């Protein structure tokens, strides 16, 4: 039995996790879901604890974790969200954030009027260092002389392993994105680690772009990229850009991984969306595609690709939620994917050799 942990979370999180769990159940893979439905903002507001040590132990002892979303408008600071996401990433050492961007239909891309583009790339983002490491502080807070410092932390170990991970998931090419011309100390470290990684992984096309140039190139021709490897903050921005180019945040899936320990946290990236929570219009495809990444993580490659084919078929047919041009509710859109998955042979043949979760 493969036991996974499920954290439905806040806002639309429980709504989109439900159809993802229906998919897992229908595949009959022997996956048992340990649902931590108390890990949410309500518990944090009541107790001050979002994630207890007992919760972490249940997560550590499971094969993987599926997360819906965290965030609540009643909490104005980021402490709660950080106490869940940052704790999981740090405690489990989930150093690699894997964000695939795959265009399911040409009509979904803002580039559709320019040309038909087969967008299928991945942002590999260092997930435990950088500006989000929490190193820094402030003084003279609230005064005109206030000083605030956030440290952009890079280590040789952290940078080297994220580059090795990027090469492990690449099909043909890897592009390093940094700002070494302006951020000199960290830039020199990233450049040195890059040269060493290129030597360790012959046979791939390799390139380097500064982050401003990379953003421009992605906006004009995202098909030029296979895998982009970058730091925490640049990866955060570029992965949302690629998601928008490939159909929007509602279909964006992600995995947070440690390729050595095989721990993984899988989540859609749309957030808790409190403005639409409870209305039944949230798009479940990001959660379903995140579940596909989790399924593949457990070793079920064929079943994971079957889920993606089912998603492709429902998008092709317009059996989707309003954000993708359809009229279905969250539950109806999830049911449409499930119905397609149960077909003897998929009705939507997606191109082969597409990016899926690696790090096996």
Residues that are catalytic:
132, 179, 212, 236, 240
Task: Tell me if 288 sits within 8 A of 311, measured CB to CB.
Answer: yes
CA angle 93, 283, 60 (to 5 degrees): 20
First to last CA, the chain: 19
Task: Tell me if 355 sits within 8 A of 121, measured CB to CB.
Answer: yes
The residues near 5 (Cβ < 8 Å, ≥ 6 apart) are: 33, 34, 36, 58, 59, 62, 64, 65, 66
d(CA 265, CA 272): 17
Which DSSP string corresponds to 327-345? Answer: ---HHHHHHHHHHHHTSSS
Task: Tell me if 123 sits within 8 A of 175, measured CB to CB.
Answer: no
**Residue matched to tokens 């409190």:** 274
Neighbours of 223 (CB within 10 A): 15
Where is 35: in which H helix or E strand?
strand 31-35
Q: Give me the half-sphere count of Cα atoms (radius 13 Å) on the Cβ side of residue 311.
A: 29
Q: Which residues pair with 174 in a beta bridge?
A: 206, 227
What are the φ and ψ backbone dihedral angles of 161, each rounded to 5 degrees? -75, -30
């Amino acid at each position: 039995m493969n036991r996974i942990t499920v954290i439905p979370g806040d806002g639309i999180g429980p709504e989109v996790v439900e159809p993802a769990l229906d998919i897992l159940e229908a595949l009959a893979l022997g996956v048992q879901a340990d649902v931590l439905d108390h890990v949410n903002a309500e518990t944090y507001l009541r107790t001050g604890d979002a994630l207890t040590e007992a919760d972490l132990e249940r997560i550590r002892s499971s094969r993987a974790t599926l997360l819906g979303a965290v965030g609540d408008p009643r909490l104005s600071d980021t402490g709660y969200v950080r106490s869940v996401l940052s704790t999981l990433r740090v405690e489990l050492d989930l150093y690699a954030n894997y964000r695939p961007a795959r265009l399911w239909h040409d009509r979904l891309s803002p580039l559709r009027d320019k040309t038909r583009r087969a967008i299928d790339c991945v942002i590999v983002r260092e997930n435990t260092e950088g500006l989000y490491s929490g190193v820094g502080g402030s003084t003279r807070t609230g005064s005109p002389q206030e000083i605030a410092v956030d440290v952009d932390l890079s280590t040789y170990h952290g940078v080297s392993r994220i580059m090795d991970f990027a090469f492990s998931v690449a099909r043909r090419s890897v592009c390093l994105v940094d700002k070494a011309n302006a951020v000199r100390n960290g830039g020199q470290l990233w450049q040195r680690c890059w040269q060493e990684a290129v030597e360790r992984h012959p046979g791939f096309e390799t390139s380097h772009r500064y982050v401003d140039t990379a953003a421009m190139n992605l906006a004009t021709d995202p098909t030029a990229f296979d895998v982009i490897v970058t730091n925490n903050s640049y990866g955060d921005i570029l992965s949302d850009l690629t998601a928008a180019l490939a159909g929007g945040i509602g279909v964006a899936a992600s995995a947070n991984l440690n390729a050595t320990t095989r721990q993984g946290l899988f989540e859609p990236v749309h957030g808790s969306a409190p403005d639409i929570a409870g209305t039944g219009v949230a798009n479940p495809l990001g959660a379903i595609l995140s579940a596909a990444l989790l399924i593949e993580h457990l070793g079920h490659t064929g079943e994971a690709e079957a889920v993606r084919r089912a998603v492709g078929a429902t998008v092709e047919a317009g059996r989707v939620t309003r954000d993708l041009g359809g009229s279905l509710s969250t539950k109806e859109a999830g049911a449409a994917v499930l119905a397609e998955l149960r077909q003897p042979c998929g009705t939507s043949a997606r191109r082969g050799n597409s990016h899926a979760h690696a790090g096996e």
